[in-house]
Structure 1
Amino acid sequence: MTSAFQKMTDAELDAALADLERQADELRALDLKLDMARGKPSPEQTALSRPMLDLLTSQSDLTDNGADADNYGAPEGLPSARALAAELLGVDPANVSVMGSSSLNLMYDCVENGYVHGIGGEKPWCQQGTVKFLCPAPGYDRHFTVTESFGIQNVPVPMREDGPDMDVVREYVEKDATVKGIWCVPRYANPTGVTYSDDVVRAFAALRPAAPDFRIFWDNAYAVHTFRGEGDPLMNIFDALAEQGGEKNLVYEFASTAKVTFPSSGMAWVTASPADMAELRRSFSAMRVSPEKISQLAHVRFLKDAAGVRAHMEKHAEIVAPRFALVQQKLSEGLGGLDVATWTDPNGGYFVSFEGPEGSAKAIVALTAELGVKLTGAGAPWPYGKDPRDTNIRIAPTYPSLEELGQALDVFVVAVKLVAARLAKAERA
């Protein structure tokens, strides 16, 4: 793709650069301090759940189907919490454990179980020498940090418009026994917003791993986070496994209420096959007597069931949708027709994935910061922060107000154009 700046004459490019430098100086003088670095709910979104804080008082009944929320017991979570989690994922409550507020914490625990204790009777990964995890990229940086922290090799896998490149995944998983897992965000993937197609989900279910202790880490973080229309359909991975002809120890699925109610003060859960859940529960029992259940009780009484969650998320959508629409408007108005960038337009989730010219992402992020807007670090959506082409930037539009978001996007557009123009000028040196 040849950009509009590359097509300019030398005089036209010099004039464009001078104008863009002037715009950057004007923005720099505003001394802005705006943040689009992480995908956080806005204060308006968390306010939607404040009524939940009034549901439990010193006079409240703190029992749940025979379990006491104010004491030890129910190590897999309150029965009603497990039932709600199971309904949202379309699985059997018997195969769900609800514990803590962070699904990332549960993912860490599952990796740690494989690393320290082993999976399915196999040697612990720490005794197996080289261990690898596949990382669809661009993807979620905190996933990659978990496995990197154990010294596990993170191997990037290309993302397509319908999910990971399954030819590449299959080649690794079925021929290399050192590959022990793959990170997946199957609905509204972070940061691309892609939802895995039925074909991709079925391809995952049909994998025949070379390593018996290989597991798919299915992080369904945005299962209910649609903000446009009916949203993208996602096939239930366990239904796809059932189509293969029976139970298979292959998938750990995770989700939470992190961006449904209060981040860091909600509930998180994991589900897997009966055999895998039994193994995980044995591992978890060494570190937990029981989870924090009062928060679980409040959540169930507030959200009630899947229909209640959908109604609650419709309120979120009313807040989030205008922000994503503003991203599309600002990028289209500012960059459309220049052939310097492409970006995604998701129906849900928390991010827009932006692709600039080759060799531009670090420069754009640095210039944007200099002009008063903080973005996720360039390269973060790739293992070890190494974007091979230096093109990808994750845009997180949910937290700022609409006014602040508009300002931040105006800064971002100027930075993209200025970096693209500088690159075009450098090509002529």
Structure 2
Amino acid sequence: MHVHILGIGGTFMAGVALLARAAGHEVTGSDEGLYPPMSTQLAEAGIAVMDGYQPAHLEPAPDQVVVGNAMARGNPAIEYMLDAGLAYTSGPQWLADHVLADRWVLAVAGTHGKTTTASMLAHILLDQGAAPGWLIGGIAADLGASAAFGESRFFVVEADEYDTAFFDKRSKFVHYRPRTLILNNLEFDHADIFDDLAAIQRQFHHLLRTVPGAGRIVHNAADAALDTVIAQGCWTPRVGFNRPDGWHAEPVTADHGRLRIGRGDQFVGELAWTLKGAHNAANACAAIAAAEHAGIAPSAALAALATFSGVKRRLELRGTPGGIAVYDDFAHHPTAIRATLDGLAVGRERGRVIVAFEPRSNTMRAGVHQATLGASFDRADRVYAYDAGIDWDLRAAMAALDDRFQALGDIDALVAAIAAEARPGDIVVVMSNGGFGGIHDKLLATLA
């Protein structure tokens, strides 16, 4: 079967492309403005990507068009697809029909930490010989790709609450029918899709309705917004984490690089690993609890996590030119920004933390986080923001940082300012959920 994917460069759709190829289908796709790591991953897989969304890309007609959720009416390829009567479906529905049927699905949902936690869980299962498949919105160093078909019934999926497609406005995750479900946390996000937190909670409750009574829900027991979702009705046994009466992690070192893992009053074991921060400690607890439901002993899960190397674009070290450590991080929400900077700051012996920040997400560009954005950078010594014509006053939102903050409307000027500021021993962390105009390579080259 010839499958053509519209929006193939997205983190989810690129994974669908890899799975379709692994299943033996001919795969092509269309997108524009691709950037690593997904562009690199598709190229390495030998999947042809056509630039833009031209109707000619759909000639001759593929057997099925898989439509990404970034596609909208008015797009030339979408209009041609509809006029020509081509067979089409959404990415989540294709995944459900062609990959997840008859699989033990382990889904990871929540506002923050989905990619890292799902990668941890897949890594544990792989390490223990469970031969899982996975589809994750990032590339873990230990997994090597964002998606794999797997050789067993286990399949790990990052369960995103974003809408499915222009013709299906349900959240993606309602298609997945998980047997094991992790609920990491819940905050208001995706302001272009949801009116308020209650609207997101409604979608999360739809997800809860799909988990069987023989399944398991692993939930952040310290999250009041998730409590509200569960209170609407839950028919599945639950296991809590992030509280002393459930799975929890006690830091042995201030940076959480070494942890004591417990379940209630029971000490389970210690974990020494490369990841930092309290948020990753909570992610580890969730992954251990979910893996146990799939038959992996907690002691074995701990041993596996000790070898976990992290995920690309999640505080990924890109280089150390001139003794300056340059990190790439996907943080684009005040909570995630604060968590990343806390992890960098606690217990560090290096110099200053300098941030290059792009307010790129739809929620950020809508100004939803204006009131809390400035405070999320408290741990940074200097913050340089790319002010690319957003409709609200970025400088006013960051006023609490005083002379620690500077907004620039040109990426090359931003790179030059950081290069003039940074000195050996400093940390430069780039925060964006997009390509940020290739700033990472520009910084590395300039600092070198």
Larger strand percent: 2
- Note whether the superposition's TM-score is higher than 0.5: no
Bigger Rg, structure 1 or 2: 1
Which structure has more relative contact order (CA 8 Å, sep 6+)? It is: 1
Structure with the higher fraction of residues in helix conformation: 1
TM-score by length of 2: 0.28
